[in-house]
Amino acid sequence: MPPTSSNTLPTMNDNAESWIHGYLDGTLTDSEFAALSEWLRSDPAHAGRFARVALLHNRLAELHRGPAVLLPPHVPLSEIRADDAGAADDPLDGWDSPTANDPAAEPLAERSSYEPVMGARLAGASGAAASRAAANRTAASRTVASRPVASRIGGRRARWWAVMGGALAVFAVMFGLLAMLGDSTGRVSAATRELARVITAQSRSPWRSYRIVIESERAMATKAGRSREADRRPPKPTLNSASLHVGPGGRFVLTGVEPAGSWTAGSNGQQSWSVRGTAPIRVSDDPLHFRRDVPGHEHAMPLNDLEAMLNRLCDSYDAVVLDDADEPDNTGDAAATGDAAATGDSAATDDSAATGDSAAKGDSVATGESALATESDAANNRGATPEPQQRSSRRLLVATKRRGQRGPRQVEVSYDSGTDELFAIRFVDMPYGANRLTLRLEPLPSEPTAQTAKYFEHTAHHSDSRAIEYVLGDGP
């Protein structure tokens, strides 16, 4: 009912909530819209109410247009349909009835204390969700690769990704991993929880930027056939001082500088692309095709995918959390050294050591020290002076590869245990083409322009006049 005068405002206020929802759902008539507009202008608190509902509405839209892993299981249309004629027009009838065998169907409104139940249930449900998500990603890759470029570009779902959805994706993975490790006790579980927390905190914004710092690079030890195979692959670009930008939906941009000029590789989630020097821009329908330049790609833990890294660390690594460094100058305390040394023992038995890598033996103590130093460097490089209480809660998680597994020999995550702020992730002996790298990934503030979908299109990284070459199949 439209207002006819200011006297109608109390009535409008009564209806305001439904007008707000109606506006967001696109169901308002012109007169209702006029009424809503007047109501919004009549009191700043009204606009505040609108903003709160709109914030939730926007997040719901982002969540549902983001990766499948973000969402609870899909409900088939047959389950949504109102079969009972009597219930058909009553949206409240039957909506909140819990299903006996489906704890997820328990109504929100009737739950008096759902907090502990929620945690347990999510842990179980998200394990399956994580597996589904992996399958979905694979299926999505196949689907995307088989569709014409033109039909994919401009897809509505593809264009509207969750701005904050990444955080929720990581929640799902985190709970799934905790469920998988539910039988584990002691430090491995604690380490997993710590790592999941840190990664969740990182993912509060799915638009993230990192700097890659190469500490050392060496040719991979010759092992029958392996290096020759690596030599046959396209050469990897130089990574030192490279930067990595990550967005939701598998988006990434990796950029660096070589003597021949700058290079950039990236993906908008549906296509991947490469921009090198003055050569034609190369574009592939496979969103993973040019991800090969991202370290860790070959071992299912690409640097642009924290979820995948978390999965791999849980599946293939033994992790320990070193005790808090109570003071900045306590970085080499006995407890930390002991843990790291134990890690080093484990490292010395893995396949990296078997390849004749002397560095693999007993260097974890030094590794721990360097990682903690790295943390300090990272804070300085960000231009942010940590508060004293934050400095006192620095932690280091050291994950050491299990025997027979592939990937970097050791991964160190340094972070603030109070705020979960990530200082750096250090990868020791990460295979990269024909070489092994020890590198650090350090968070950088993400530029506003790198926090939009357009930044992840190749067109944002070259002039319009450049030639474009479409890559077919899996060729280099």
Tokens of residue 27, six digits: 């169901």
Q: Which of 8, 124, 136, 159 binds other proteins (CB under 8 A)?
A: 159
Residues 228 to 267: which contact other proteins by CB under 8 A? Answer: none
Determine the residue type at 194. E
Q: Are 291 and 272 in contact (CB under 8 A)?
A: yes
d(CA 247, CA 209): 9
* Contact set for other proteins, span 432-461 (CB under 8 A): 444-454
Q: Which amino acid is at 37?
A: S
Nearer to other proteins, 62 or 357 (CB): 62
Q: Which of 9, 118, 300, 365 binds other proteins (CB under 8 A)?
A: 118
Q: Determine the 3-state secondary structure of 425 from DSSP.
A: strand
* Closest approach of other proteins to the CB of residue 275, in Å: 19
Least Å from the CB of residue 424 to other proteins: 17
Q: Is 464 in the site for other proteins (CB under 8 A)?
A: no
- In the bound complex, what is the minimum distance in angstroms from residue 95's beta carbon to other proteins? 5
User: Is 215:440 a contact under the CB 8 Å cutoff?
Assistant: yes
Q: How far is the CB of 459 from other proteins (least distance, A)?
A: 12
Task: Please identify, using beta-carbon distances, which residue of 97 and 216 lies nearer to other proteins.
Answer: 97
Q: How far is CA 16 from the centre of its chain?
A: 38
Site string for other proteins, 35-64 (x = CB under 8 A): --x--xx--x-xxx-xxxxxxxxxxxxxxx
Q: Least CB distance from residue 334 to other proteins, whole Å? A: 36
Report, in Å, the least distance between residue 341 CB and other proteins: 38
Q: Which of residues 121-140 bind other proteins (CB under 8 A)?
A: 121-122, 125
- Amino acid at residue number 111: R
Q: Which residues does residue 282 pair with via DSSP β-bridges, in sequence order?
A: 274, 469
Site string for other proteins, 74-113 (x = CB under 8 A): xxxx-xxxxx----xxxxx-xxxxxx--x-xxxxxx-x--
Site for other proteins, residues 333 to 352, rule: CB under 8 A: none
Binding residues among 286-315 for other proteins as defined by CB under 8 A: none
**Which CB, 158 or 353, lies closer to other proteins?**
158
Query: Among residues 40 and 244, whose Cβ is nearest to other proteins?
Result: 40
Residue 57 Cβ vs other proteins, minimum distance, rounded to whole Å = 7
What is residue 386's DSSP assignment? P
Contact 450, 207 (CB under 8 A): yes
Q: What are phi and psi of 402, to 5 degrees?
A: -75, 160
Strands laid side by side in the 252-258 sheet: 317-325, 394-401, 410-416, 422-432, 435-444, 208-219, 243-246, 252-258, 261-267, 272-276, 281-284, 468-471
Nearest approach, Cβ of residue 158 and other proteins (Å):
11
CB of 264 to other proteins, least distance (A): 16
Q: Per-residue DSSP letters for 193-243?
A: HHHHHHHHHHTTSS-EEEEEEEEEEEEPPP-TTHHHHHHHSPPPPP-TT-E
The region of 157-165, 291-299, 307-315, 397-405 touching other proteins under the rule CB under 8 A is 157-165
Position 448, amino acid: P
Region 347-386 residues binding other proteins, contact defined as CB under 8 A? 382-383
Q: How far apart are CA 74 and CA 114, in angstroms?
A: 22
- Find the binder of other proteins among 15, 189, 209, 376 (CB under 8 A): 209
- By CB under 8 A, the residues from 382 to 411 that bind other proteins are 382-383
Residue 129 or residue 396: which is nearer to other proteins going by CB? Answer: 129
Q: Using alpha carbons, select from 375, 367, 303, 371 the residue that is nearest to residue 341.
A: 367
Q: 473 burial class (0-12, 13-18, 19+ CB within 10 angstroms)?
A: exposed
Piece of the chain touching other proteins by CB under 8 A; list 33-41, 184-192, 224-232, 297-305: 33-41
d(CA 171, CA 71): 11
CB of 419 to other proteins, least distance (A): 13
The sign of the CA dihedral 55, 60, 61, 66 is positive
Rama region for 237: left / alpha / beta (φ>0; ψ in -120 to 50; rest): beta
Q: Between residues 131 and 222, which has the closer beta carbon with respect to other proteins?
A: 131
Strands (DSSP E) along 98-169, which ranges? Answer: none
| Number of residues lying near other proteins (CB under 8 A) | 100
Binding mask 164-203 for other proteins (x = CB under 8 A): x--xx--xx-------------------------------
